[in-house]
Amino acid sequence: MKYVFLAREDGKGIERLLCCCAPVTHGEMAEAHAKEGYKPVSAGFFKVKPDGSVETFGSSSSLKIGPRPNDANRIYHLTQATITLGSM
């Protein structure tokens, strides 16, 4: 699955995570958020392994950036939080 982390250009607020499996580029995913003052800070692909861990790989050719060292861990915790909230 494709992903992009976005951060506000002014450094305020929390980062946004966009995930998509549709046939769009990372750049197209991030484009709408630029109007709100967000810029891409990392991008690539991820998969959730059978044991629940997350692996990031590849990079974005449209944004010319790749994953950061902690992206897999952050995506893992966000997916776990989503699963937990969804089961309530």
The per-residue pLDDT for 18 is 94
Q: Does some domain include residue 52?
A: no
Query: Which structural domain, as residue segments, surrounds residue 37?
Result: 1-44
Q: Does some domain include residue 29?
A: yes
Query: CB of 45 within 8 A of CB of 56?
Result: yes
Q: Does some domain include residue 36?
A: yes
Per-residue model confidence as pLDDT tens digits over 14-58 = 899 999 988 999 999 999 899 999 999 999 999 999 998 999 999
What's the pTM?
Answer: 0.88
Q: Does some domain include residue 19?
A: yes
DSSP string, 28-53: HHHHHHHTTTEEEEEEEEEEE-TTS-
Q: Does some domain include residue 33?
A: yes
Q: Does some domain include residue 82?
A: no
Q: Does some domain include residue 57?
A: no
Q: Does some domain include residue 81?
A: no
Domain count for the chain: 1
